[in-house]
Amino acid sequence: MQQQPLISITDVGRKYVIGAEVIHALKSVTLHIEKGEFVALMGPSGSGKSTLMNILGCLDTPTKGEYVLNGIRVSEMSDNELAEVRNKEIGFVFQTFNLLPRSTSLDNVALPLVYAGIRRSEREERAKVALENVGLGNRAEHKPNELSGGQRQRVAVARALINNPSIILADEPTGNLDTKTSVEIMALLEEIHSKGNTIILVTHEEDIAQHAHRIVRMRDGLIENDYPNEHIKLISPRLNKLRDRGTDFEGI
């Protein structure tokens, strides 16, 4: 029996009515993503990339078509049902980090477990492990304003992984970072992918997209092309070169 794709979107469309005008942000999109893939989603402003991202992340629902995520038909779910699916199935990493400014790294990472009803002692233990896994075990009690941009994004990645989600949806994860730190965050995502996680990377930066194993390009509410990336940049050698120069990654 053939295994079903982790994500299956069929003839999905999304339109918005603004006054007398109807805007077709997505016209007809069919997309299948297998478990364990690393996919980059690209497109210029107005291409429908952000709308598709919102649908993939269960932040919005299509006006036509079907979306099945990990065997769950989510295209016609209520807002409350979508919120439950998001918490269980999707880990988000945003450009602006989206951390609670008055909470510690530990509490920020543990937040999805609060919504999942996990008791406090278990939340804290799992959050400590998640922070250690991204190299921030010694920053658990630091608040976002006490961390660098790279460290804040690492906290966001740890939070995204805390519920063992089906997919990691990274929306412009390096958009607010310098080049060196961007390399580090992409290396971290590559390491996460190597452990079997499915990653969907939304970016407008060609060099960042080249780290993915498959690139989906959008234009005018449609998929313009979708192909394997034959020129994957191997991040590990670049990372090793930085290590050889004595770079302190925990400070990034």
Task: State the chain's mean pLDDT as an integer.
Answer: 89
Helices (H) and strands (E) in the chain, counts: 8, 10
Render pLDDT for 162-187 as a digit per residue (tens, 0 to 9).
998 999 999 999 988 999 999 999 99
Average pLDDT over residues 183-212: 92
d(CA 82, CA 171): 19
Residue 236 above 70 pLDDT?
no
Query: In angstroms, how far is CA 105 from the centroid of its own chain?
Result: 19
Give the residue-averaged pLDDT of 142-149.
Answer: 96
Taken in order of first residue, the domains within the chain and their CATH numbers are 38-47+79-251 (3.40.50.300)
- Per-residue model confidence (pLDDT) at position 249: 42
Residue among 160, 163, 162 at smallest CA distance from 185: 160
* pLDDT at residue number 117: 87
User: Strand, helix or coil at 43?
Assistant: coil
HSE, side-chain direction, 13 A CA sphere, residue 251: 4
d(C-alpha 144, C-alpha 127), whole Å: 16
Report the DSSP beta bridge partners of residue 29.
12
Q: For 208, list phi and psi in degrees, rounded to 5.
A: -70, -45
- Residue 216 parent element (H or E): strand 214-219
Mean pLDDT over residues 32-42, rounded?
Answer: 96
Model confidence at 232, in pLDDT bands (50, 70, 90)?
low
pLDDT of residue 6: 95
- Residue 233: predicted pLDDT: 54
- Going by their DSSP bridges, the two strands 7-18 and 64-69 should be labelled as antiparallel
Q: Which of 7-11, 62-66, 201-205, 243-247 has the lowest mean pLDDT?
A: 243-247
For residue 76, the model assigns a pLDDT of 83
Between 206 and 245, where is the model more confident?
206
Provide the 8-state DSSP code for 220.
T
Question: H or E element: which one contains 18?
Answer: strand 7-18
Name the pLDDT band for 238 (thresholds 50, 70, 90).
very low
pLDDT classification of 242: cutoffs 50, 70, 90: very low
Quote the CA–CA distance of 165 and 183 in Å, as a whole number.
24
Q: Who wins on pLDDT, 232 or 162?
A: 162
Q: In what order do the strands lie in the sheet with 38-42?
A: 90-94, 167-171, 198-202, 38-42, 214-219, 222-228
